[in-house]
């Protein structure tokens, strides 16, 4: 493509992008297509000659767009959000245009130094002590894997990296039954063995029960294991339950264990002074992760990973082949050594744009408003005769179900709520997802979309009530 063509199409696309974000609420939230429908529309062979940009873009609109679920729709209440914002998108345009690799300082000095500065800003915004150092990872899953690998190395005196596992490295890892699946994945990848992951019981609020954790550790010690690490969840994926960090931290200290705190979603709430209480004891953690790409207006991917012992992280991941050595290595951050992959995107730019365009205060009011909207919805559900809450709502996730007075059979209730979910999502008017809490099929509404307003939440609640009457 010639650059004069690029200029023309870029202008057209920017207009399309602004129109899309203006009218995103007019699309069905959840894509209405059938499995393999898109695949069958795409030619089985790549084109041999060039095609015009107009043709390509027309097919994007005709084939691709109907096959998208619209995560930036204000009525997207499912999973956890992957919210975004105009300044973040603008930064990504620049990142793609620069097309720089940010593995070493030398390969992109500004990227390295901006990452160091914005991660320091972010650390202060969420109130983490200054012993912590931040680095941007692609996802929380990767950050959790980095943490478990670093724990494995530090507590084996860096032996596993060198020699592989030995008789004295029969490690065990602990998390609650409500922890994210990425913990299990990390344990498997780190070579620790899924059988050595202990899933500890939760209390009636779905938070890790520290007494059960302590018991499990005692049992493993007696059986000759070396308890390595606890992954505490601050805001579980099911219900945003908050594991008691201070009590878990004390147990970790007592047994000389590593503590990783996974706050992928809820970590954003720490930018609000009135929600600092949720992380009581966080200063005892070794590592902490949260995702600005979930609930902080920064488009995927951008996961903020903070470590107390930077040297342990670097010692775990450092590699220094001759072709990567530079004269400034001792003065700068070479982020290739702060994680798994060598090549890195320039992710700090979008975070910088977002924090500057909104200001810390602007982000705070958006997040505060999300929490407020979720809590007032929870209050309405609580007093509604046909619905009930299935978990408390400390932040911006409401877990609830339809429970008509005349139905008490658990299986029938589950089936009823599954049908309600399907009807709502098929309407295209809103999108929500579910989880199992205990044995109950729980519907989840997360309020964290960049554009979501009170009217959207009111409309969703109205739709839910109305649709439930047709079941």
Ligand X SMILES: *Cc1c(COP(=O)(O)O)cnc(C)c1O
258 neighbors 151 (Cβ within 8 angstroms): yes
Which CB, 287 or 291, lies closer to ligand X?
Answer: 291
Instruction: Return the residues of window 321-360 that contact ligand X according to CB under 6 A.
Output: none
Question: Is residue 397 a contact point for ligand X (CB under 6 A)?
Answer: no
Number of residues that bind ligand X (CB under 6 A): 14
266 neighbors 278 (Cβ within 8 angstroms): yes
Interaction mask 120-139, ligand X, x per CB under 6 A: -------------------x
Interaction mask 85-124, ligand X, x per CB under 6 A: ----------------------------------------
231 neighbors 179 (Cβ within 8 angstroms): yes
From the CB of 142, what's the least distance to ligand X, in Å?
7
Which CB, 80 or 400, lies closer to ligand X?
Answer: 80
Question: Is residue 286 a contact point for ligand X (CB under 6 A)?
Answer: no
From the CB of 383, what's the least distance to ligand X, in Å?
29
Question: Is residue 141 a contact point for ligand X (CB under 6 A)?
Answer: yes
Which CB, 80 or 441, lies closer to ligand X?
Answer: 80
From the CB of 317, what's the least distance to ligand X, in Å?
18
Please name the residues in contact with 283: beta carbons below 8 A apart, sequence gap of 6 or more. 129
Question: Is residue 176 a contact point for ligand X (CB under 6 A)?
Answer: no
Question: Is residue 233 a contact point for ligand X (CB under 6 A)?
Answer: yes
From the CB of 387, what's the least distance to ligand X, in Å?
24
119's tokens: 């991660």
Question: Is residue 264 a contact point for ligand X (CB under 6 A)?
Answer: yes
Among 71, 77, 80, 346, interactor with ligand X by CB under 6 A = 80
Give DSSP secondary structure letters for 416-452.
Answer: HHHHHHHHHHHTSS-B-EEEEETTEEEEEEE---TT-
CB-based contacts of 162-171 (< 8 A; 24+ apart in sequence): 165/191, 168/226, 169/226, 170/196, 170/224, 170/225, 170/226, 171/196, 171/225, 171/226, 171/227, 171/228, 171/229
Q: Supply angle C-alpha 178, 299, 455, rounded to 5.
A: 80
Going edge to edge, which strands form the sheet with 433-437? Answer: 387-389, 397-402, 440-446, 433-437
Among 118, 126, 197, 265, interactor with ligand X by CB under 6 A = 265
235 neighbors 210 (Cβ within 8 angstroms): no
45-53, 160-168, 203-211, 231-239 -> range binding ligand X (CB under 6 A): 231-239
32-40, 93-101, 259-267, 398-406 -> range binding ligand X (CB under 6 A): 259-267
SS3 of 214, please? Answer: helix
C-alpha distances (whole Å) from 408 to each of 403, 411, 412, 414 are 8, 9, 8, 10
| Cα-to-chain-centroid distance, residue 69 | 18
Query: Where on the chain is the footprint of ligand X (CB under 6 A)?
Result: 80, 139-141, 180, 182, 233, 236-237, 262, 264-265, 291, 303
């Amino acid at each position: 493509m010639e650059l004069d063509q690029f200029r023309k199409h870029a202008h057209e696309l920017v207009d399309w992008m602004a129109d899309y974000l203006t009218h995103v609420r007019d699309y069905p939230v959840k894509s209405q297509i059938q499995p393999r429908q898109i695949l069958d529309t795409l030619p089985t062979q790549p084109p041999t000659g060039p095609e015009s940009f107009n043709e390509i873009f027309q097919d994007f609109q005709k084939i691709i767009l109907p096959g998208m679920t619209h995560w930036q729709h204000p009525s997207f209440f499912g999973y956890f959000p992957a919210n975004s914002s105009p300044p973040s998108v603008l930064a990504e345009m620049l990142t793609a245009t620069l097309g720089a690799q940010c593995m070493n300082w030398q390969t992109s000095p500004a990227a390295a130094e901006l990452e160091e500065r914005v991660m320091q800003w972010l650390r202060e915004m969420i109130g983490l002590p200054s012993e912590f150092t931040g680095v941007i990872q692609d996802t929380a899953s990767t950050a959790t894997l980095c943490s478990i690998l670093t724990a494995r190395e530090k507590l084996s005196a860096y032996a596993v990296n060198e020699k592989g596992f030995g008789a004295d490295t029969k490690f065990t890892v602990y998390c609650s039954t409500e922890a994210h699946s990425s913990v299990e994945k990390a344990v498997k990848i780190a070579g620790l063995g899924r059988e050595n992951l202990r899933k500890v019981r939760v209390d009636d609020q779905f938070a890790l029960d520290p007494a059960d954790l302590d018991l499990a550790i005692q049992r493993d010690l007696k059986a000759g294991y070396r308890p390595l690490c606890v992954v505490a969840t601050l805001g579980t994926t099911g219900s945003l339950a908050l594991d008691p960090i201070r009590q878990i931290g004390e147990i970790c200290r007592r047994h000389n264990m590593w503590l990783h705190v996974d706050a992928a979603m809820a970590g954003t709430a720490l930018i609000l002074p009135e929600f600092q209480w949720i992380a009581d004891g966080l200063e005892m953690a070794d590592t902490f992760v949260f995702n600005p790409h979930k609930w902080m207006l920064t488009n995927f991917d951008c996961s903020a990973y903070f470590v107390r012992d930077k040297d342990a992280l670097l010692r775990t991941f450092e590699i220094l082949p001759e072709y990567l050595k530079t004269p400034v290595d001792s003065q700068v951050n070479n982020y290739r050594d702060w994680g798994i992959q060598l090549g890195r995107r320039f992710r700090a730019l979008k975070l910088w744009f977002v924090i500057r365009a909104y200001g810390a205060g602007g982000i705070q009011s958006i997040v505060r408003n999300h929490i407020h909207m979720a809590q007032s919805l929870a209050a309405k559900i609580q007093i509604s005769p046909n619905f009930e809450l299935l978990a408390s709502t400390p932040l911006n996730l409401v877990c609830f179900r339809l429970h008509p007075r005349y139905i008490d059979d658990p299986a029938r209730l589950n089936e009823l709520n599954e049908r309600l979910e399907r009807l709502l999502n098929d309407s295209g008017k809103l999108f929500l997802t579910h989880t199992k809490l205990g044995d109950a099929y729980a519907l989840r509404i997360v309020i964290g979309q960049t554009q979501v307003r009170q009217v959207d939440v009111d409309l969703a609640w109205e739709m839910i009530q109305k649709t439930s009457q047709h079941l």
